[in-house]
Amino acid sequence: MQRVQPWRGDPDQLFDGFLVIDFTSGYISQAGGIPKRSTGYWLPDKQLILTYRNEKSYYQTDCEMVIGNKHYRGLLSIPYVGFADPIQEIPAGTLVRVSLARWWAPRGINEERCYLQLSGWYL
């Protein structure tokens, strides 16, 4: 904590506020703005729970998303890309390392995006 200045709170605090939370994933895009950095540390205000989809590890957390001018509550699923074996729960307030994946455009999307991923934690 003496060497980093983590983001704190909800996922919308990550990456200078440019992170778009779209149903279950988070990303940045050229149109939405580019943050100052692509990696950082976060102190989430809610626990992150391990889940699996297509044999891949994800950490889920409750979050609010804004689509158009409507606000929704949902579950953000953050892919886990670290080397350590995943743990069942990352408690709220735990320092975690997050980053943005390389630019790419998912099928059916006309813009390239960098998606949020989680690579480690410090209990």
* Domain residue ranges of the chain, discontinuous segments joined by +: 7-122
Distance CA 18, CA 93 (A): 22
* Residue 16: φ, ψ to 5°: 60, 25
pLDDT of 22 over the 90 cut: no
What order do you get walking across the sheet with 39-44 strand by strand?
Answer: 7-9, 39-44, 95-100, 113-122, 25-29, 20-22
* pLDDT score recorded for residue 35: 97
Task: Write out the E strands in 1-123.
Answer: 7-9, 20-22, 25-29, 39-44, 48-53, 56-67, 70-79, 89-90, 95-100, 113-122
- Kindly report the pTM of this predicted structure: 0.91
Tell me which amino acid residue 25 is: S
Interval 12-35 mean pLDDT: 91
Per-residue pLDDT, averaged over 89-107, amounts to 96
Closest CA to 117 of 71, 73, 72, 86: 86
Range name among 24-33, 70-79, 96-105, 107-116 with the lowest pLDDT average: 70-79
Percent share of the chain, pLDDT over 70? 98
